[in-house]
């Protein structure tokens, strides 16, 4: 049996506890390693936090599975049963260089449906949280649903620089056109927080081509609760079990972005 409220209460308690540990040791010396490339960073704290969640989950919910970034989870290729999708620190580059604007991202999916999403901005002590069907919150404040209408020329677009890396997958000219069409662009360096900002309504659309399930699982749940739309860049629904190019935003502009500006190579 899946008792959503019990799982939510514990998950929330663990996220806040992990955040407090990170915050209180933010100025400690860091052990920094690189993973897939010299800019793909991981620290001892990423690993410690993921290990903390994994041991709590395994002792309280031995039947649940874990899909996570740093190796303490399980091999998960489909979302049957209950799956915790965890990024212990989303925005590790910000964590290392800036000591702010990073988050803990934790989502719980049950039989393929996103039930609980938690994104904790650790240094700001702001917890974005949602349970499916109950709305999204920032601490105690319920977030408004998105406005009925939104046009691209009044939108702030978030995007990262993956589109201009050597193996980029979109037409540069089209991205240039899109950037010239929107009101402004932003990049914050934590995908989970970027979703939280979408849910808060302070930005309107988001393109990111290299996201893993743990970068977006919790944020997607938050964003759906306020009426946001999330799709793969080819217009298909996200599967949440593999790396996927993502377009998210107000429903009035997502399809326009995909149809007019995201020409996959
Ligand atoms: C990264 C951040 C970043 C996004 C990258 C992610 P990490 O996660 O979310 O904003 O652009 O694609 O890999 O490595 O800091 O957990
Ligand atoms: Ca991440
Ligand atoms: Ca991470």
**62-117 pLDDT, tens per residue?**
999 999 999 999 999 999 999 999 999 999 999 999 999 999 999 999 999 999 99
pLDDT higher than 80, residue 17:
yes
Q: Which ligand is nearest to the CA of 88?
A: 3
The single residue listed with the structure tokens 């978030």 is 158
User: What is the mean pLDDT of the segment spanning 165-180?
Assistant: 81
Which ligand 1 atom sits nearest the alpha carbon of residue 192? Answer: 9
- Quick check: 212 and 92 in contact, CB under 8 A? no
Q: Residue 149 — pLDDT band, cuts 50, 70, 90?
A: very high
> What is the homologous superfamily of the domain 4-142 according to CATH?
Fructose-1,6-Bisphosphatase, subunit A, domain 1 (3.30.540.10)
Report the candidate in 219, 208, 202, 214 with the shortest Cα–Cα distance to residue 245. 208
Sequence spans of domains, the chain: 4-142, 152-260
The confidence score (pLDDT) of residue 163 equals 66
The confidence score (pLDDT) of residue 168 equals 67
The single residue listed with the structure tokens 């933010």 is 26
CA atoms within 13 A on the CB side of 185: 14
Which ligand 1 atom sits nearest the alpha carbon of residue 42? Answer: 14
152-260 has which CATH code?
Answer: 3.40.190.80
CA 173–ligand 2 middle distance (angstroms): 28
pLDDT in tens, 76-90: 999 999 999 999 999
- Ligand 1 interacting residues, C-beta cut-off 6 A: 87, 90-93, 160, 189-191, 208, 210-211, 215
Q: What is the pTM of this model?
A: 0.96
Q: Which residues lie below 8 Å from residue 127, measured CB to CB, with a gap of 6+? A: 12, 15, 16, 118, 119, 120, 121, 138, 139
């Amino acid at each position: 049996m899946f008792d959503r409220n019990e799982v939510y209460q514990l998950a929330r308690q663990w996220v806040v506890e992990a955040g407090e540990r990170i915050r209180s040791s933010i100025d400690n010396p860091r052990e920094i390693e690189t993973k897939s490339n010299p800019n793909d960073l991981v620290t001892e704290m990423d690993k410690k936090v993921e290990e903390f969640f994994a041991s709590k989950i395994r002792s309280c919910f031995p039947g649940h599975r874990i899909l996570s970034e740093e190796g303490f989870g399980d091999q998960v290729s489909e979302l049957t049963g209950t799956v915790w999708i965890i990024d212990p620190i989303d925005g590790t580059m910000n964590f290392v260089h800036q000591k702010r604007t990073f988050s803990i991202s934790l989502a719980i999916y049950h039989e393929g449906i996103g039930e609980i999403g938690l994104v904790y901005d650790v240094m700001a002590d702001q917890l974005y949280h949602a349970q499916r069907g109950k709305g999204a919150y920032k601490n105690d404040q319920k977030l408004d649903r998105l406005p009925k209408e939104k046009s691209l020329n009044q939108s702030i677009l978030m995007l990262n620089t993956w589109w201009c890396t050597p193996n980029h997958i979109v037409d540069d000219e089209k991205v240039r056109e899109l950037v010239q069409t929107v009101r402004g662009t932003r990049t914050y360096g934590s995908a989970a927080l970027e979703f939280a900002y979408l849910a808060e309504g302070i930005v309107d659309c988001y393109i990111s081509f290299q996201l893993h399930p743990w970068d977006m699982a919790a944020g997607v749940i938050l964003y759906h609760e306020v009426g946001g739309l999330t799709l793969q860049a080819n217009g298909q629904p996200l599967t949440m079990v593999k790396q996927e190019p993502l377009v998210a935003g107000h429903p009035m502009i997502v399809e326009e972005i995909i149809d007019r500006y995201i020409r996959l190579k």
